[in-house]
Amino acid sequence: MSLDRELFGQGPARDARFDVRDVWAELTNFSPEHPELTREFLHRQMNEEVEGLEMSARNLADFPDAPWDLRMAIARQCWDEARHVNAFRRALESRGGAVGDYPVINFQYRILTRIDSLIGRLAVQNRGFEAAGLDAIDTEMERSHGDADLSHLFDLQLADEVQHVRYANVWMKRLVELHGPRAIVLVARAMAQATEALRVIAGDAIVTYPVVEELRREAGFTDAEIEAARQQATAR
């Protein structure tokens, strides 16, 4: 499938083990009762963590003049995401899976690299993808009761993801203070672009999770932003 180049950049490099698809419907979408559901989830999540590392690394490479403290926060995220990749791979392989068992999709990277401002990327990657991940991880922790290994993995991941969202919330406010209304316009443009791209990727299959107020508040969201997220999830 050919995706609009105005919305999607080139995908990241993957070796021959990976079967890379373009849209959600082309993935292996098992039913909740399928015996391979957990392995496919771990495989998909492992690849998403690779994307998280790649997106953060691109932010460092593409915006070398960003404030030093912000660059350090992004670099720490690279380290966190690399640890997550290894953790999900271990969990996958301990359950009999292997890299390449299922198709993967790199939509987050392809969306993010079409955004031409760092504040826009922080809005989409950290306040968007990573914040939605807080809700998803909380739900997966509930499902994994009885599996101590997975519960521990999700608990460690969650602590890192909260920090990834929090530093973006802090720095987006600082960047708005530095650059004024233009920065707000860049955020709005980036979010609109990402929303349209997600519709192309997922179609009617966009998955949403209950918004976890406590985690989002810990990550620096205001009550008004949490309520807006809840309304958006309900609308979907």
Does the residue 4 lie in any domain?
no
Residues of the chain with pLDDT under 50: none
Residue 106 lies in a domain: yes
Query: What does the H/E/C string look like for the chain?
Result: CCCCCCCCCCCCCCCCCCCEECCHHHCCCCCCCCCCHHHHHHHHHHHHHHHHHHHHHHHHHHCCCCCHHHHHHHHHHHHHHHHHHHHHHHHHHHCCCCCCCCCEECHHHHHHCCCCCHHHHHHHHHHHHHHHHHHHHHHHHHHCCCCHHHHHHHHHHHHHHHHHHHHHHHHHHHHHHHHCHHHHHHHHHHHHHHHHHHHHHHHHHCCCCCCCHHHHHHCCCCHHHHHHHHHHHHHC
pLDDT of amino acid 224? 84
Residue range of the domain that includes 148: 20-235
CATH of the domain at 191: 1.20.1260.10
Q: Residue 228 domain-assigned?
A: yes
Q: Give the count of domains, the chain.
A: 1
> What integer pLDDT is reported at residue 174 of this predicted model?
96
pTM for the predicted model, two decimal places: 0.90
